[in-house]
Amino acid sequence: MNSDKTTHFGFETVKAEEKAGRVREVFDSVASNYDIMNDLMSLGVHRLWKHVAIDLSAVRNGQHVLDLASGTGDLASRFAGLVGPEGRVVMSDINLAMLEEGRKRMVDSGHVGNVEYLQINAEEIPFPDNSFDCVTIGFGLRNVTDKDKALREMFRVIKPGGRVLVLEFSKPVNKPLEKIYDFYSFKALPLMGKLVAKDADSYRYLAESIRMHPDQETLKQMIEDAGFERCDYHNLTGGVVAIHRGFKL
């Protein structure tokens, strides 16, 4: 990677080669409180968002699924139940601490036979072409340094007829909601991070990373540019979150 290339780490401009390490430090810090903070930050609504994503994925028995940026495994756990013993789910994260938290939770839930655990950088997916029926990334794409490269990698490893699903924070569709959301993100989130996780800075970064992420139409175009067709997106909670979907035909 060109050492002169820069990217965003929240609102800060950093060398592109440094971002992955900075993101890793954030999630090392928040891993043990990740589930608690998700419930607090979203008032539990993140579970509904993920439920809608599962439905839109159309994953079924016997299929192979790659879940990138799995975190503690909310999506991967549901996929493991859907694909059954004949299917396969690869639960992955670039952050080893997050992946270990997720692995422990998956084992506690009884998912042991059809789930693999791998530390994966979404920009360099270590699988052959046409390996998966579905690739998902939930609340992780905004942390990827080269999003276009990651989307091209997802396209490469998806089988013809398969699809990608990107669940991510996005841009509220009306101004009043946007103002409320900004206040919540930049005032309430860091305060909750400080009180609950003893880490205001990491949650301030998370709020900033959401603001720097492409809006719905821009991300849709990026997914199309990576090679996907029949791309669409579904706004949830007034556009606070959007689910983007694309197909490899």
Annotation: binding site for S-adenosyl-L-methionine: 72, 93, 121-122
Q: Are 119 and 92 in contact (CB under 8 A)?
A: yes
Tokens of 197: 């996780």
Residues 236, 225: Cα–Cα separation, whole Å:
24
Residue numbering of the annotated binding site: 72, 93, 121-122
Q: How far is CA 95 from CA 11, 47, 70, 187, in A?
A: 22, 22, 10, 27
**66 neighbors 90 (Cβ within 8 angstroms):** yes
Q: Which residues pair with 167 in a beta bridge?
A: 138, 243
Distance of alpha carbon 81 from alpha carbon 152, whole angstroms: 28
Q: What SS3 class is residue 137?
A: strand
Q: State whether residue 89 is helix, strand or coil.
A: strand
Show the tokens assigned to 199: 């880490």
DSSP state letter for 5: -
